[in-house]
Amino acid sequence: MEESTFRRFQREVRHFFAVSVMNIAFAALLMAFGLMVVVQEVVSIWETFTTEMAVTFSPVVLIVAVSAMIIGLGWIITSARVFEGIESIKNDLGQLTKKNRSQIESDNDERDEELTRLIVRMLSHYRDNHGTIHRMIYVCMLGSCSIFVLGTIASLEYFSASLNGFSFTIGPNPLLLPSMVIMVAFAIASLISSIYFYQFSRVWDERLKEIEQSEDLLEKTLEMSLG
Amino acid sequence: MSGRRTAYEIYWEILVFCRKPQSFTGIINRCDLNSKTGQEYLGFLMEKEYLMETIEGDKKRYSSTGKAGEYITLFNSLYQKLFDTAPTFKL
């Protein structure tokens, strides 16, 4: 078995696993942000109708927050499917690594086939989730924007827009600045996640093309015509 | 192994698994095939003499022939070559 092939495959699987974990974490964060703003808005609506206090609430904010919650939930479900497959491949790859350390050189053929089997599984997993991974590129981007918008909305105390311009006041909470920094970091990290999904799909699309091209050779070897 | 695979990937899976004699049920379970497609794949491989049928007692067993080695080696090298060429995915 060529060590370099094994190492490269192992690195790619590990890196994609990390991106998948990060993706699930951001999906959960988006859902939590959405839920937080929904609760705030519902409390405002309740207070407006039950007390004589002049509490402001915005149906637009409520719609954005509910949408963010739904996007977050959908994002978690689709990410989980991709994560499950890659986790199983990563575990089997870990077992193969242990086997490689403990076995003797004469088992090279067997290990070679085990590696090929995992490569075929990864290709198969990519074919199955091709659409989802492509969607993730856009969902992560949308998620990033939603986290940013929701974070901004949550920190605003007053906002008004007119034809002449707009004015706003941010809340007096001393924790606002650190929370804004964290929120921007999450939004950027989610954007980076989108870029990684794009890179991953570009690399694996290229591999699928290569496989299609080498099918002629396999067909000739099998002396067949599937035509 | 389940998921979307090409016919060549399924042939490879069957031939590698049948290095040791295997039953029809064992093959379709391992390769995640239904009986109908399983019959088709085995029929093709037997017709091309990559697989042979033996009778052990009252049970049929399938095993790869020497001819299968060439296909398995080529398949392994083509799939592993995917990682020798750029680009690769990394963080």
At B60, which CATH number?
1.10.10.10
The residue of chain A with its CA nearest to that of B13 is A117
The residue of chain A with its CA nearest to that of B70 is A221
Subunit contact B13:A120, Cβ cutoff 8 A: yes
Subunit contact A218:B75, Cβ cutoff 8 A: yes
Q: Which residues of chain B have pLDDT under 50?
A: none
User: In this complex, is the C-beta atom of A21 within 8 Å of any C-beta atom belonging to chain B?
Assistant: no
- Of B44, B70, B82, Cβ closest to residue A119: B82
Shortest CA distance to B33 belongs to which of B52, B51, B9? B9
Query: Is residue A222 scored above 70 in pLDDT?
Result: yes
Subunit contact A124:B1, Cβ cutoff 8 A: yes
Residue B45 lies in a domain: yes
- In this prediction, residues A109-116 reach a mean pLDDT of 85
Residue B1 lies in a domain: no
What is the least distance, in Å, from the CA of B70 to any CA of chain A? Answer: 8
Helix H or strand E encompassing A146: helix A130-155
What is the least distance, in Å, from the CA of A87 to any CA of chain B? Answer: 15
What is the least distance, in Å, from the CA of B13 to any CA of chain A? Answer: 8
Residue A227 lies in a domain: no
**Residue of A120, A125, A127, A192 to mutate when probing chain B, most B C-beta within 10 A:** A120
Subunit contact A115:B80, Cβ cutoff 8 A: yes
Read off the pLDDT of residues B58-70 as tens digits, 9 standing for 90 and up: 889 999 998 899 8
User: In this complex, is the C-beta atom of A28 within 8 Å of any C-beta atom belonging to chain B?
Assistant: no
What confidence score (pLDDT) does residue A226 get? Answer: 44
Residue A9 lies in a domain: yes
Please give the C-alpha separations between residue A175 and each of A31, A78, A145, A149, A178, in angstroms, as whole numbers.
Answer: 21, 34, 22, 18, 6
Shortest CA distance to B51 belongs to which of B24, B76, B78? B24
Taking the C-alpha atoms of residue B47 and residue B52, their distance in angstroms, rounded to an integer, is: 9
* Domain, as residue range, for B43: 7-81
User: In this complex, is the C-beta atom of A99 within 8 Å of any C-beta atom belonging to chain B?
Assistant: no
Query: Is residue A56 scored above 70 in pLDDT?
Result: no
What confidence score (pLDDT) does residue B2 get? Answer: 65
Backbone φ and ψ of A162, nearest 5°: -140, 180
The residue of chain B with its CA nearest to that of A89 is B1
What confidence score (pLDDT) does residue B87 get? Answer: 65
**Mean pLDDT for chain A?**
82
Residues in chain A with CB shorter than 8 Å from the CB of B9 are 120, 123-124
Residue A163 lies in a domain: yes
* Domain, as residue range, for A116: 3-221
- In this prediction, residues A195-199 reach a mean pLDDT of 89
Residue B87 lies in a domain: no
Taking the C-alpha atoms of residue A111 and residue A116, their distance in angstroms, rounded to an integer, is: 9
Residue B44 lies in a domain: yes
Taking the C-alpha atoms of residue A227 and residue A64, their distance in angstroms, rounded to an integer, is: 52
Number of domains into which chain A is organized: 1
Number of domains into which chain B is organized: 1
What confidence score (pLDDT) does residue A225 get? Answer: 42
Residue B73 lies in a domain: yes
**Residue of A115, A211, A222, A223 to mutate when probing chain B, most B C-beta within 10 A:** A222
Find where tokens 């091709």 sit. Answer: A130
Residue A84 lies in a domain: yes
Least confident of A74-78, A200-204, A205-209: A74-78
The model's confidence at residue A224, banded by pLDDT at 50, 70 and 90, is low
